[in-house]
Amino acid sequence: MNFKLVLRITGFTLLIEAAAMLLPMGVALIYGESPIPFLSSILIILAAACVPVFLLKPKKDFFAREGFFTVGLIWVLFGAFGALPFWFSGQFGPYVDCFFETISGFTTTGATILTEIEGLPMGLLFWRSFTHWLGGMGVLVLTAALLPFLGISSNFLIRAESPGPVKSKLLPRASQSSKILYAIYLALTVLETLLLRIAGLNWYDAVTHAMSTAGTGGFSRMNSSVGAFGSPAVEIIITVFMLLFSVNFAVYFLILTGKAKQALKSDELRFFLIMVAVSTAAIAWNIRDIYNGVGECVRYAAFQVASIVSTTGFSSANYDLWPEFSKMLLVVLTLIGACAGSTGGGIKCSRILILIRSAAREVRSIIHPRAVSVVRLDGAPLPEATLHTTQCYFIINLFLVFGMAIVVGLDNFSFGTTLTAVITCISNVGPGLEMVGPAGNFAAFSVLSKLVLSFLMVLGRLEMFPILVLFSRSAWKRS
């Protein structure tokens, strides 16, 4: 393990975090709030980051293990340092709560420990939504785009951070790909901000909600989330953008380069759209007695489905009060999640497709024991290794869900609360059911549970392996 290089890259990435804090500090100044929490955090981060950046002279060896290790380390440290402004402000409670909130932000989960959000300082709430935006596309992707000289264009890093079972590069150079991804990301965010502004939100709400949507995070300034605005236009805009951000960004790249046909042929995209349409219809039918008329049912069903499936976690209604069928469907959608290569979380539609298809192949192989067949995605055959990784990923996911549910069970909350809290954290959605439902929060959990759930959020966001590498003894050996 080349620790010096790992630390140096981590240092540079932390510098970017420090720079990012200037923005919420500016917002704080505009609203006449104290910039001290941000200023002191920035100074602490600078002090911590400058040591490896200026003092270490690392060798250039950089392999997959270093890549995974760096990503894991950076995400944990980002949470640790990003929590400082909240802690210094004194309004977010103990450090563990601040850490949980920050990790929830960077991993675009949107699970909160705050019981009363409205009335908190604007600068801090801006930082809270801004962490979603930064974490959505990935902090290393950002670093690679901004600081190509670091050489972390080394594919290992980007691969570890971008979600999905099949990693493909858009362009030959990683830093170019990162720039294009961020450009698409930024353009869509700006577009949503403008639309929300036109729909009647003030600039502050438009920007923060657009950032929360873009990262598929789900932090809102309002206690009752997007539902608080009571505006169908805002809900529709956010529904559409939540879905847009949960589509593989490569699709937009293909459309921009004039290959729209190829983009629309994507199996995953079709699966995703069908899943959203069917779930929306089923839930709209299931809640027909609660709301008046088809329009209203579809509006609420579509918003909730889009919010859950994109793993954003906004809510426009308290779906914890909906019938069991709708709740079960939403929990299953929580596990499945968005498309690979998007800012969304969950297991990912492409993995589910691969799992379904390999299961079908197993059944076929009983009829034709000696048949050789391949599992395909978008018509292209998948290597057996990808299938193994996908199956393994799914199993690790299940083990973690049930294993960690046992630990969280120590807090003695109800079965629904415990299980959905774990599922919603590992899938980076945010709300679950009952106590952690759309109207609830995570404040009541013990310190242990909060740490476990934070850990699950990072695991989910980085798709297990970079964090699991940190637990492997051989990864810590010096080379």
- Find the shortest distance in angstroms from Cβ 371 to other proteins: 5
> Which parts of 381-410 interact with other proteins (CB under 8 A)?
381
Name the segment binding other proteins (CB under 8 A); options: 246-254, 318-326, 373-381, 417-425: 373-381
Near other proteins by CB under 8 A: residue from 32, 119, 172, 379? 379
478 is a site residue for other proteins (CB under 8 A): no
Q: CA-CA-CA-CA torsion for 453, 458, 462, 463, nearest 10 degrees? A: -10
- Find the shortest distance in angstroms from Cβ 165 to other proteins: 18
Full DSSP string of 171-182: SSSHHHHHHHHH
172 is a site residue for other proteins (CB under 8 A): no
Name the segment binding other proteins (CB under 8 A); options: 58-66, 187-195, 369-377, 449-457: 369-377
Task: Collect contacts of 76-81 with beta carbons under 8 A, ≥24 apart.
Answer: 76/458, 77/10, 77/14, 78/13, 78/14, 78/17, 78/102, 78/106, 78/135, 78/139, 79/103, 79/106, 79/454, 79/458, 81/14, 81/17, 81/41, 81/44, 81/45, 81/48
Question: What number of other Cβ atoms are within 10 A of residue 380's Cβ?
Answer: 9
Name the segment binding other proteins (CB under 8 A); options: 204-212, 254-262, 313-321, 363-371: 363-371
Beta bridge partners of 380: 377
> Which parts of 50-89 interact with other proteins (CB under 8 A)?
none
Contacts of 346 (CB under 8 A, 6+ apart): 309, 311, 334, 335, 336, 337, 338, 427, 428, 429, 460
Angle, nearest 10°, between helix axes 293-309 and 267-286?
140
Name the segment binding other proteins (CB under 8 A); options: 23-31, 62-70, 107-115, 365-373: 365-373
- Find the shortest distance in angstroms from Cβ 363 to other proteins: 14
Name the segment binding other proteins (CB under 8 A); options: 15-23, 297-305, 371-379, 427-435: 371-379
- Find the shortest distance in angstroms from Cβ 262 to other proteins: 18
Near other proteins by CB under 8 A: residue from 57, 59, 261, 370? 370
Q: What are the C-alpha distances in Å from 105 to residues 85, 220, 429, 454?
A: 13, 11, 11, 10
Near other proteins by CB under 8 A: residue from 261, 372, 471, 474? 372
368 is a site residue for other proteins (CB under 8 A): yes
Size of the site for other proteins (CB under 8 A): 10
Binding site for other proteins (CB under 8 A): 368-374, 376, 379, 381
